[in-house]
């Protein structure tokens, strides 16, 4: 999603749990992602992200927003009347019932997304991707697959340090949960899913 966001100004806008397909693999694949330079980092940085024997596929782009420009790097192919806004695929979310749901944090995300976009659905608002990533993490921690939650807890536990090597299981689990809550707070402060990958808590994945 971070690649599509960076290259095509992509927003999914409906990344609830039912739109993420999870497949288990017997081998542990590794994904490479190149972080672009920033103000504090002059060169791009290659990070290696382990899959933990899981592959996730995002589906259902009905509400998504995408900028399509097949000739983005070819200025000579564009006529003088070229308007990049004509190459934006989006759906104006005018159905009020979408924002009136109750009973699940998914519906809170729709309302937060509308606030973020200020009803300008044609515009690019990458923070909506962050809202959904935060939702996914919260779902994993609270209601969904115990197996995936346990694997995520194991990743968090690896960040605790030597001070927690000889503590009880309950203390270690509580500390790991706090690490995950801290990650969620860091997610929420990011402006885009690309920035999520640059958070300090993802130093674990740097090659």
Name residue 34's beta-bridge partners.
46
Closest CA to 87 of 161, 33, 9: 9
Parallel/antiparallel/unpaired status of strands 20-24 and 54-58: antiparallel
Residues with active-site annotation: 14
Q: Give the whole-angstrom CA distance, residue 30 versus residue 150.
A: 20
Q: Which pair of structure tokens corresponds to residue 101?
A: 């749901």
Q: Give the whole-angstrom CA distance, residue 185 versus residue 102.
A: 23
Tell me phi and psi for residue 189, to 5 degrees. -85, -10
Residue 142 CB neighbours (<10 A): 9
Residues 6+ apart with CB under 8 A from 71: 77, 78
Q: Which helix (H) or strand (E) holds 8?
A: helix 2-8
Q: Give the whole-angstrom CA distance, residue 146 versus residue 139.
A: 11
């Amino acid at each position: 999603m971070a690649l599509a966001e960076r290259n095509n100004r992509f927003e999914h806008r409906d990344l609830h749990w039912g739109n993420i397909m999870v497949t288990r693999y017997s081998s542990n694949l590794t994904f490479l992602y190149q972080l672009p330079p920033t103000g504090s980092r002059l060169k791009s940085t290659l990070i290696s992200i382990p899959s933990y024997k899981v592959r996730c596929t995002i589906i259902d782009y009905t509400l998504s927003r995408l900028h399509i420009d097949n000739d983005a790097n070819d200025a000579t192919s564009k006529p003088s009347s070229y308007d990049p806004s004509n190459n934006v695929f989006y759906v104006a979310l005018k159905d009020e019932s979408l924002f009136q749901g109750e009973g699940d944090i998914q519906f809170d995300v729709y309302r937060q997304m509308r606030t973020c976009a200020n009803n300008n659905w044609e515009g690019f608002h990458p923070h909506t991707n962050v809202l959904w990533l935060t939702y996914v993490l919260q779902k994993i921690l609270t209601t969904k697959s115990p197996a995936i939650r346990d694997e995520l807890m194991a990743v968090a536990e690896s960040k605790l340090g030597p001070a927690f090597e000889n503590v009880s299981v309950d203390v270690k689990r509580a500390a790991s949960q706090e690490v995950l809550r801290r990650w969620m707070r860091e997610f929420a402060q990011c402006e885009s899913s690309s920035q999520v990958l640059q958070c300090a808590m993802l130093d674990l994945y740097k090659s």
